């Protein structure tokens, strides 16, 4: 009996020592690694820290451009490349809901694949629900611009959107009810992002009253103000059509202080930069993140604010890359980008979804 008690006691002590050294809990290997997790209609054999939703151009001989956009997801390592939508129309601009088990997106499937667009939900088991029936018009030659950019405002579990031809920013409930969200003070606001942490809203657009022949800049509308103010000054307000600057695709990080964006200012193509609102500068100074002769665009933060994903055509067609965020003033070399997709198709508009657990060791 005493020997049995001694053996049990030794076992418990050794177990406690192993756990105290981290041997019993590997932060990159969750306890449920052998269990399957069902997300957006797919069963994953291992735990995924988060997913990246994006659109991919697939061949379609019956479409306007002989291709159509479909939604896909991958994990942060580029694995589990799963297709989410199966429709002859364009499905684009995905945005995860706060829990990461639904994706909002924009599609012209309600107009037969041509012209007008509406917002839809993709549910946890792959079901699709239409939310809007307004079919606001859009310019068929402007398919490269986010016309709605359905960004999830997780504080109220709402979608925030700016229809391209309306000039207002709206909030849309998960049941399809919408109302005017804010007067942004910006002409033709679009491509907006909202921070559930600070309640701040950022939109791309032109100062109120400006024409189509003016630079596009970023404007910030704090939650506690009734108006917005300009936070980027890349352009010189020239109306020369050959000298216009387009600064678009803003995305807040998890703190609601740092904003990723793309701009044509630094190069003859698009490059990615960041603005930090937490600095003491009245006008935050932008930091450039990419240096490439090809286009770098459509950035999205990861849930921790340490990584970002973007689309680039540096390989001949648009693929997704990710990279650690770095301090450009540091002597430490710029971390190399990591390629996530390897297809002949164009991938666009990535949205890095929320974390499903504590495993963020990408």
> What is the chain's Cα-based Rg?
22
Note every long-range contact of 213-218, with CB atoms under 8 Å and residues 24 or more positions apart, other chains counting: 213/239, 213/241, 213/244, 214/239, 214/244, 215/244, 215/245, 215/246, 215/247, 216/244, 216/245, 216/246, 216/247, 216/248, 217/245, 217/247, 218/247, 218/250, 218/259, 218/261, 218/275
For residue 279, give the 3-state DSSP assignment: coil
- Provide the β-strand partners of residue 121: 104, 129
Average pLDDT over residues 211-222: 81
Q: What token pair was written down for 251?
A: 């995305």
**pLDDT tier, 314 (very low <50, low <70, confident <90, very high otherwise):** very high
Whole-number Å distance between alpha carbons of 264 and 83: 32
For residue 3, what are its two tokens?
Answer: 């020997």
Which pLDDT band holds residue 58 (cuts at 50, 70, 90)?
A: very high
User: Which residues, including other chains, have CB under 8 Å from residue 238's CB and lie 6 or more apart?
Assistant: 215, 244
Paired sense of beta strands 158-161 and 151-153, if any: antiparallel
Instruction: Please answer whether residues 171 and 154 qualify as being in contact, where contact means their C-beta atoms are separated by less than 8 angstroms.
Output: no
Q: Tens digit of pLDDT for each residue in 136-189?
A: 554 322 222 222 334 444 334 556 665 555 566 666 666 666 655 555 567 667
Indicate the DSSP class of residue 337: P
pLDDT of residue 264: 94
Which pLDDT belongs to residue 24?
29
Only one residue has tokens 């807040």, namely 252
Give 258-282 pLDDT, tens digit per residue.
999 999 999 889 999 999 999 877 7
Contact 171, 159 (CB under 8 A): yes
- Give the tokens for residue 21: 């050294």
- Fold entry, domain 40-352: Neuraminidase (2.120.10)
CA distance 74 to 78: 6
Distance of CA 317 to the CA centre of its chain: 20
| 229-230: strand order across its sheet | 186-194, 201-207, 217-221, 229-230
What are the boundaries of each domain within the chain?
40-352
The Cα–Cα gap between 6 and 11 comes to 9
* pTM of the entire predicted model: 0.82
> Per-residue pLDDT for 117 more than 60?
yes
Q: Is the pLDDT of residue 229 over 80?
A: yes
Distance CA 297, CA 273 (A): 10
Q: Averaged over 30-35, what is the pLDDT?
A: 47
Max Cα-Cα span within the chain: 93
CA distance 195 to 188: 21
* Distances 169 to 151, 174, 225, 277 between C-alpha atoms, Å: 11, 16, 15, 22
């Amino acid at each position: 009996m005493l020997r049995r008690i001694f053996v049990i006691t030794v076992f418990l002590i050794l177990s406690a020592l192993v756990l105290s050294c981290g041997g019993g809990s590997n932060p990159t290997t969750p306890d449920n690694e052998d269990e399957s997790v069902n997300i957006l209609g797919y069963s994953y054999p291992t735990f995924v820290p988060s997913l990246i939703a994006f659109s991919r151009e697939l061949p379609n001989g019956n479409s306007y451009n002989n291709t159509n956009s479909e939604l896909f997801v991958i994990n942060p390592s580029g694995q589990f490349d799963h297709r989410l939508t199966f429709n002859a129309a364009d499905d684009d601009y995905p945005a995860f809901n706060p829990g990461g088990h639904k994706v909002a997106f924009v599609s012209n499937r309600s107009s037969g694949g041509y012209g007008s667009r509406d917002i839809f939900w993709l549910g946890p088991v792959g079901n699709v629900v239409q939310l809007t029936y307004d079919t606001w018009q859009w310019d068929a030659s402007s398919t490269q611009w986010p016309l709605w950019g359905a960004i999830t405002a997780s504080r109220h579990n709402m979608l925030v959107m700016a229809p391209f031809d309306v000039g207002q920013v709206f909030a849309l409930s998960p049941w399809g009810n919408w109302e005017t969200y804010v007067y942004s003070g910006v002409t033709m606001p679009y491509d907006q992002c909202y921070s559930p942490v600070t309640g701040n809203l950022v939109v791309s657009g032109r100062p109120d009253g400006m024409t189509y022949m003016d630079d596009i800049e970023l404007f910030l509308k704090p939650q506690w103000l009734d108006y917005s103010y300009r936070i980027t000054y890349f352009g010189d307000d020239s109306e020369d059509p050959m000298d216009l600057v387009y600064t678009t695709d803003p995305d807040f990080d998890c703190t609601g202080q740092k904003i990723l964006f793309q701009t044509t200012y630094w190069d003859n193509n698009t490059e990615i930069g960041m603005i930090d609102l937490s600095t003491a500068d009245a006008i935050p100074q932008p930091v450039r993140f990419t240096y490439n002769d090809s286009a770098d665009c459509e950035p999205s933060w990861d849930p921790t604010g340490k990584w970002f994903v973007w689309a680039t055509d540096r390989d001949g067609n648009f693929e997704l890359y990710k990279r650690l965020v770095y301090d450009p003033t540091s002597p430490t070399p710029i971390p190399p980008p990591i390629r996530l997709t390897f297809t002949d198709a164009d991938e666009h508009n990535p949205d890095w979804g929320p974390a499903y657990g504590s495993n963020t060791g990408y």
